[in-house]
Chain A
Amino acid sequence: MTLLAFDWALFIEKLVLIAVVIFGSLGIALYSTWAERKVAAFMQDRIGPNRAGPLGLLQPFADGAKLIFKEEIIPNSANKWLFILGPGMAMTAALITSAVIPWSSHLEIAGRIMPLQVADVNIGILYIFGAVSLGVYGIMIGGWASNNKFSLLAALRGASQAISYELAMGIALIALLMLTGTLSLKEIVEQQMAPGHYWNIVYQPLGFLIFIVCIFAECNRTPFDLSEAENELNMGYHQEYSSMKLGFYLFAEYVNMFVASAVMATLYFGGYDVPFLNESLLSPNVAALVGIIALMVKIVIFIFIFMWVRWTIPRFRYDQLMELGWKKLLPLALANMLITAIVILWLQHK
């Protein structure tokens, strides 16, 4: 049996890791909905959800149960298969990005080294870019299959927005790549951890600013949530959806937010690096645990920034959105790339 000539231990290890990452992402997304309502309430001087459990902590489960038990309606004139496929694609595209994120260094269990990253591919950043560019399919298919003109308009808006902001995002990333010289996320984190080296945000502040604005646009978060602008489009691309399909769309947004925060923390803020601490002095398992906690703290801070912005800045108009993307961010990203390249060349030939 040649089939058995296969590293089954590795297979099981990766399977467990994937399960933990997916359920972890979903769990954090679940509680992001609670946090969003609490943050909104805090900003508007209200109390927020406080009935289900202490501090309203059981509210997400109540919401989930409600969504599952609601009646599910598929419109008569909708394209049935694509209508069902849409929310699934939105969720899949949101989750697959998590495969290349290094959650921490590595665990050592019974002499076996277990890296806490599903796949350390040498094209990590490009993989993220690919996964982001697929995120638009969920919105487009759902909006078109609903056979509703408001949904279709919202879907087209969402698609053109995503394509426009991908450009500036890609160019901001190229400047980062020139600096790191590698596409592997693990190596990028290790470079930032090395003594005498600072986090990438120190070298690329403008690049990070462009990147975070583009991430907001790609995640469809306010101020760029043009595809669900209630006042002009009734509700947006998920208008015809009900029950858990609607839940999937709303939930995918929070998963996206979580994964995007992890990406930003990894690329610009040292990933699982704890500042002013030499991890190599700790035993591997303790270092891994400390690393996970550090990364999670950074992610939570980013998720809070997402919510802070949402409840502070009003939505852009569509022409303002396009102008910001094409006429401001793109030239800025190009200038950033050129300056980075010149400085790197100058430092090499000094």
Chain B
Amino acid sequence: MGITAIVFWILSALTLFSAIMVLVSKNPVHSVLWLVATFFSISGHYIMLNAQFLAIVNVIVYAGAIMVLFLFVIMLMNLNTKTEMKKNLWMKLGGVISGGMLLWILISVVRTYAEQSKGHPKIASVNTGEIGLIKNLGHVLFTQYALPFELCSVLFLSAMVGAVVIGKKN
């Protein structure tokens, strides 16, 4: 077992542990902080795949911006167990079904991939792939995937305008 494998197992254990803690924590603020820890360990995985740009953008966008806003809202609402809404049975049932279907799809993706690549399995390129570097990624995004990229930016713009419109109502 090389040093890469050891780091991988430690990171994976950390990711799973923090992800479980997000669900188990009673206090919403603790949940948010565990989620931040999860993002950090996922960023660690990105770095192991030599995707440094993705890793740092994951930290900036999710840990640095979105989670701060989450924390902001939770702190302002001052949620605690007493004021927690009671969810009705149908809601819980719907959650279980949709969550189970998502799991089903994920498992089927992994299984079809494993069956298709029988005999010559493709292993994630650790520490060698070049596509995650910012130069190559930028090149691909602005040539091969230019149209989807621009469409995404329009989508974000419209979401922003929508948020402003909703905010202006009051």
B109-142 interface bits toward A, Cβ cutoff 8 Å, 1 = contact, 0 = none: 0000000000000000000000001110000000
- A144 in contact with B75 (CB, 8 Å): yes
Q: Check if A312 is an interface residue, CB within 8 A of chain B.
A: no
Please pick, from B30, B57, B134, the residue contacting A122 in the complex, using a CB distance under 8 A: B134
- A140 in contact with B68 (CB, 8 Å): yes
The majority secondary structure among interface residues of chain A is helix
| Nearest-neighbor residue (CB-CB) of B133 within chain A | A122
- B75 in contact with A140 (CB, 8 Å): yes
Known A-B contacts A137-B68, A156-B76, A159-B72; A130 and B56 likewise in contact (beta carbons under 8 Å): yes
The majority secondary structure among interface residues of chain B is helix
Q: Check if B85 is an interface residue, CB within 8 A of chain A.
A: no
Stretch from B59-67, B92-100, B149-157 that touches the partner: B59-67
Q: Check if A160 is an interface residue, CB within 8 A of chain B.
A: yes
B interface, how many residues as a size bin? 20 to 34
A-B pairs under 8 A by CB, number: 70
| Nearest-neighbor residue (CB-CB) of B40 within chain A | A134
| Nearest-neighbor residue (CB-CB) of A121 within chain B | B52
Number of interface residues of A (CB under 8 A): 29
Known A-B contacts A130-B60, A133-B64, A134-B59; A123 and B3 likewise in contact (beta carbons under 8 Å): no
Q: Which residues of A contact B27 (CB under 8 A)?
A: 79
Q: CA of A82 to CA of B29 in the docked complex: distance in angstroms? A: 10
**How many Å from the CB of B65 to the closest CB on chain A?**
6
- B72 in contact with A160 (CB, 8 Å): yes
**How many Å from the CB of B84 to the closest CB on chain A?**
17
**How many Å from the CB of B156 to the closest CB on chain A?**
14
Q: Check if B33 is an interface residue, CB within 8 A of chain A.
A: yes
| Nearest-neighbor residue (CB-CB) of A140 within chain B | B71
- A123 in contact with B134 (CB, 8 Å): yes
Please pick, from A122, A133, A156, A162, the residue contacting B52 in the complex, using a CB distance under 8 A: A122
A113-137 interface bits toward B, Cβ cutoff 8 Å, 1 = contact, 0 = none: 0000000011100110110011011
Q: Which residues of B contact A137 (CB under 8 A)?
A: 36, 68
Q: Check if A6 is an interface residue, CB within 8 A of chain B.
A: yes
What are the nearest 3 A-B pairs in CB distance?
A133-B64, A130-B59, A126-B56
- CB<8 Å pairs between A and B, sample of 27: A3-B2, A6-B3, A79-B27, A79-B29, A82-B29, A82-B30, A82-B33, A122-B133, A123-B53, A123-B56, A123-B134, A130-B59, A130-B60, A130-B63, A133-B59, A133-B64, A140-B71, A140-B72, A144-B71, A152-B75, A156-B72, A156-B76, A159-B71, A163-B65, A163-B69, A166-B64, A166-B65
Chain A residues proximal to chain B, CB less than 8 Å: 2-3, 5-6, 79, 82, 121-123, 126-127, 129-130, 133-134, 136-137, 140-141, 144, 152, 155-156, 159-160, 162-163, 166, 183
